[in-house]
Amino acid sequence: MSGGNPDINAEKSETENVAKPLKAVKKTVKKREDAEHKVNEGRKEEEEVLRKIFREAEAEKEKAPKKTFKISVRESLSGYITINDDDAKELAVHEGAIVEFEDPLSGAGGVALAHLNKNVPVGVAVIEPALSEACGLDEGFEVDIKKFEGAPQKLTKISFGVEPLEGEAEEAIKRVMDSKKEFQDWLDGRVIFKDWVLKNPKLGVNVYIVSTEPPLTGRQVGIINFAEIKEYEIKPWRAAVPFNAILLIDVSRSMLTEDMKVTNIAPAVEAIKTIGGEEIPEVKEFLEQFQEGKAIKRVAGAVFATLLYLVEKVGRGYGEKVAIVTYSEDAEPITFLMTGGIKLPYFHPGKSKMAGVSQLSRLIIDRLNRISSQHTNMSQALMKALELIDMWSKESEEKKIPTMVVLLSDGFPDLWGEEGPPVQVVHDHFSGRNDVVIYTVGIGGEVQERIMEAIASKGRGVYYKAEDLGDLLNWYQRLARDLVIRLET
């Protein structure tokens, strides 16, 4: 007789077949739970180590000797805090160390380099008026002083925001530029931190730290050392400074190369639409070529960037003048028809006979699509910019505003006249002026970046390499909104 009931055997086999995968699943789940448990245990251990390090650091901080001083305010201390040698010994502080000071009642305070002087009374800390005002500490206030724990960050770049104590922002920027050495001497050797601000009554400005490289966060500090920081930026602090603009656009034959990739252009397209651009057939047709991911001609990208810059400038509402100069073998400004039938080589919002910026689009698209030569005469373009700046100065002698020049190219200068190559032109005619800043923009793989960087450097601007259309449009939009001046030390 054969073994067992066939139905029972089949049922048992089926049960075993189901049980095996279930066991495998449970085993996998168990392994995962064990692994997660180990990870959680590891995290707990890691957190405990971090807590221990933090407690030790806090304890170490508390160990630093601390002493109470009375504040004395005196001129000409250049950001130092001066204390007696004996007090310094108690605090374990040496000449040039960083100390932190704080009013225990209000919490007001700051950081500064320590200067030792045996003639200062024991228990007195001497600071300058600017530091006193910045920290909210007046004559006779009591502060706790101790050695700053930690090392300063090595700063490679600083951007300063300049705010006028009274008057216009552009006047404050000009005062700083005219007194560059005095400005640097006043700042040199100061300890700065995030959100730092200081008043300079002589120049009539408040100076803010806009940004640094590397960034300062939390309790991190840095020391301004102009011997190491080769250049820095100044810009208006929370104020829009009116400025005229001259856009120099390369229209040599290489600008017909189709290698500019279209990326992230939706905001720019919407900006053009807001001025009624789609109502003009030429503009509508022009915008249709910009399909995401497609490669377009470099000159088309330049046209788009120019239109966007113009839209931004007009939208600011300051009546700023904008000139557009195209250049290849020769340089030629676009001429605009003004009220009264007068033709001028620049556009002035509110004075143009054309019906708004949308009508200008047709004119700009037509001109920038006229490619005529293989040559690139940057020098002549820069000289045309100089003529326009001088013209504007004569037209508005009572109120002169700065000018931003933006030079775009995809190649290198291979043609010039008696004025010399472009870097020489900038050196001879622009570098000594405090009312002009020159930015350069490179597109394509053949652009001569060293020349573009040299032009921007001598023009106190910045060279920017645009990798695609979205990059180019974003940069032009930023330039239209803000005037930033780069100064060399």
Q: What is the CATH number of the domain that holds 208?
A: 3.10.330
Q: Give the end of a domain, one of 207, 236, 265.
A: 236
Count up the domains in the chain and report the number.
3
The rounded distance, in Å, linking the Cα atoms of 33 and 44 is: 16
Q: How far is CA 146 from CA 66, 68, 88, 150, in A?
A: 5, 9, 9, 12
The answer to whether 140 and 71 have CB atoms below 8 angstroms apart is: yes
Identify the helix (H) or strand (E) that includes residue 12. Answer: helix 6-63
Point out the least confidently predicted range of 98-112, 296-310, 474-488: 474-488
Predicted pLDDT of residue 162: 93
Is residue 209 within 8 Å of residue 459, measured between CB atoms? no
Range of the domain at 431: 244-488
Over residues 152-174, mean pLDDT: 90
pLDDT in tens, 368-395: 666 667 889 999 999 999 999 999 988 8
Structure tokens that stand for 250 in this block: 């390369």
Residue 441 lies in a domain: yes
CATH number, domain containing residue 137: 2.40.40.20
Tell me whether residue 60 is in a domain: no
Residues 471 and 337 in one domain: yes
Radius of gyration of the chain (CA): 32
What is the rounded average pLDDT of the residues 286-300?
88
| Burial class of residue 66 (count of CB atoms within 10 Å of its CB; 0-12, 13-18, 19+) | middle
The answer to whether the CB of 113 falls within 8 A of the CB of 97 is: yes
- Output the domain CATH number for residue 402: 3.40.50.410
Q: In angstroms, rounded to a whole number, what is the distance separating the alpha carbons of residues 83 and 123?
A: 8
Q: If pLDDT is split at 50, 70 and 90, which confidence band does 287 have?
A: confident
Regarding whether 299 and 254 lie in a shared domain, the answer is: yes
Q: Can you name the residues that pair with 162 across neighbouring β-strands?
A: 207, 236
Residue 353's pLDDT is 42
Claim to verify: residue 161 and residue 105 sit in the same structural domain:
no
- In angstroms, the Cα distances linking 443 to 70, 299, 434, 473, 481 are 60, 10, 28, 12, 21
Among 55-64, 235-244, 403-412, 459-468, name the one with the lowest average pLDDT: 55-64
Task: From 145, 384, 122, select the one nearest 247 (Cα to Cα).
Answer: 384
Q: Are 294 and 287 in contact (CB under 8 A)?
A: no
Q: What is the pLDDT of residues 259-272, one digit of tens each?
A: 999 998 888 888 87
Residues 6+ positions from 377 with CB-CB distance below 8 Å: 327, 328, 329, 330, 331, 413, 415, 416
Local confidence band at 485 (pLDDT 50, 70, 90 cut-offs): confident
Answer with the one of 209, 236, 263 that is the final residue of a domain.
236
- pTM over cut 0.85: no
The DSSP element (H or E) to which 181 belongs, if any, is helix 180-187
Q: Say if residue 377 is in the same domain as residue 482.
A: yes
